[in-house]
Structure 1
Amino acid sequence: MSHAPSPPGRRRRLYLMRHGEVCYFDAASGRPVLPEQVSLTAHGQAQARAAGAYLREQGVRLDRAITSGLPRTAQTAALVLQASGHEALRPEAWPEWEEIRGGRLSAIAPSELRQAFCGLHQGQVPEDQRFLAGESVGEFLDRVLPALQRLRADPHWDSALLVLHGVVNAALLSHALSAGQRLLYGSLMQSPACLNVIDVGEAPGDWVLRALNIAPLDGLRHEDRLTTMEHLLAQYQHYLALRRAREPSTREQP
């Protein structure tokens, strides 16, 4: 859909969201679920609806919506648009904004698990740091940042909703906070279905961060002191413990 260009000199607005809550481990077996297939939990759906209702209460009008195309972002966007009164807006899928890609968990040595899971949340992350033995931060920025420049170069929008992922959002926020530099501040946490508000001007370094990590349904999360990846590490270690506990009985079978 084509929209009228934004007036010259006027900053445009990005409503940057993370997808709602998902569970990366099967509730019955504890096995990891492929990130490309994981869907919103019931609470994640409620979070997305609450974010949409909040946008509606604030009188937000959107003329564009973009997701990464992965199910968890597409589902979140659909619920947000419905609850905010933008049912007619059809989200675009930009695969460049898929989450940073991990490797095989089984290939990571036990002694390296904590760094592999949590290394991205330690200040400014070096570009050679790899996520779960997969994609490096440098490779990740190579695909994420050009897509942002492509969006900025298109004048035919004024207020856009981006429903993406935790590390992707951190990269976009890092770029804005540093006035357009290529870096990743891993300490920029993103709660499920949170909202960030960013204004962007015509000059390359013209970024204004208006709001950060607003989670309408879950508030301040004052009892949660762990990062997303620390939670996932605990779940994965629980799965490994369950698997080890089953191994002896499996070997005894005829």
Structure 2
Amino acid sequence: MTTRIYLIRHGETEHSAADRLSGASDIDLAAEGRRQASCLAQRLARQPIAALYSSPLRRTVETATLVGRPHGLTPILAAGLREIDYGQWEARRRRDVQAEYAATFAAWEADPLTLAPPGGETGRAVLARALPALQAIAANHPTQTIAVVSHKTTIRLVLCGLLGIDPRGYRARLDQSPACLNILDWDETQGARLILFNDVSHYESGPVAGSPEV
């Protein structure tokens, strides 16, 4: 029995626009992020979304609330979907962290799965909580369509786990734009099939070639 999952990254924040590391930082959407999420909500308004889940951080909850409004759905919070914790690097500009922690940052970039920012969280720890959380959510909705709103790093790691991609390369090989849409068909016995990846055609001009349904 297949579950269709709309896996969504939250919209733009002031931190993401300024290239700040904002994993555990609990910040709101920027005005542009609300526009992006509203465009996605309009895109999904006629889809049969049966349930809506979100990381508990404000930027994801706000995105999920906008997506759920046309369906009369309130987001169900799932702690396992929260973003990676960047520890001492939280809320700092990437270029400043690279300059101050040059050796540590380079080592982390080379192996973000097993290494963590100082005082922060490894990719492996994120995967260990986020993948079971998503699988449990999907298992609770056989044959239904659900929406799940999470974060850039968390989504990339979950996709690696579901699709058999080496998670050590998640930063170099996968991207997630603000308020992007990924579509997965998930079966408890067969696993996951990726239907659509990192699609932002709802707030950029022109459809993406081959986009299914939505």
Q: Same fold (TM over 0.5)?
A: yes
Q: Higher relative contact order at CA 8 Å, sep ≥6: structure 1 or structure 2? A: 2
1:117/1:213 CA distance change after superposition, 3 Å: farther
SS in 2 for 1:198: strand
Q: Separation in 1 of the partners of 2:49 and 2:103?
A: 40
Partner of residue 3 from structure 2, selected from 12, 21, 36: 12
Could you report, residue by residue, the CA deviation over 1:83-125 in whole angstroms, capped at 9, with x for unpaired residues? xx21x2121111111100011138x6835348638955x6xx5
The question of 1:142 aligning with 2:128 is answered yes
Contact 2:127/2:161 (8 A) holds in 1:
no
Provide the residue aligned with 1:209 in structure 2: 194
1:54 paired with 2:40, answer no
Amino acid at match of 1:212: F
User: Is contact 2:11–2:178 with CA below 8 Å preserved after alignment?
Assistant: yes
Please tell me whether Structure 1 or Structure 2 has the larger radius of gyration of its CA atoms: 1
Name stretches of at least 5 consecutive residues in structure 1 with no aligned partner.
1-9, 221-254
Matched residues in 2 for 1:25 and 1:19: separation? 10
The Cα shift of 1:151 comes to: 1.9
The answer on 1:193 being equivalent to 2:179 is: yes
Residue 50 of structure 1: how far off its partner (Å): 0.4
Instruction: Return the alpha-carbon distance in structure 1 between the equivalents of residues 33 and 107 of structure 2.
Output: 23
Q: Which runs of 5+ in 2 are unaligned?
A: 207-214
1:76, CA displacement in angstroms? Answer: 0.6
Of 138-147 and 163-172, more deviation after overlay is shown by 138-147
- My pick for the range that moved more, 205-214 or 133-142, is 133-142
Equivalent in the alignment of 1:43:
32
Task: Rate the CA distance shift 1:175–1:131 in 2: closer, same or farther, 3 A.
Answer: same
- CA drift of 1:152 comes to 3.5
Q: CA deviation at 1:74?
A: 0.5
**TM-score normalized by the length of structure 2:** 0.78
Identity %: 29
Which residue number in structure 2 is paired with residue 92 of structure 1? 76
Matched, 1:76 2:63: yes
Give aligned pairs, total.
196
Name the counterpart of 2:155.
169
- Partner letter of residue 50 of structure 1? C
Q: Could you report, residue by residue, the CA deviation over 1:52-73 in whole angstroms, capped at 9, with x for unpaired residues?
A: 11112xx311011011110000
Given that residues 81 and 89 in structure 1 are in contact (C-alpha distance below 8 angstroms), is that contact kept between their aligned partners in structure 2?
A: yes
Which structure features the higher share of strand residues? 2
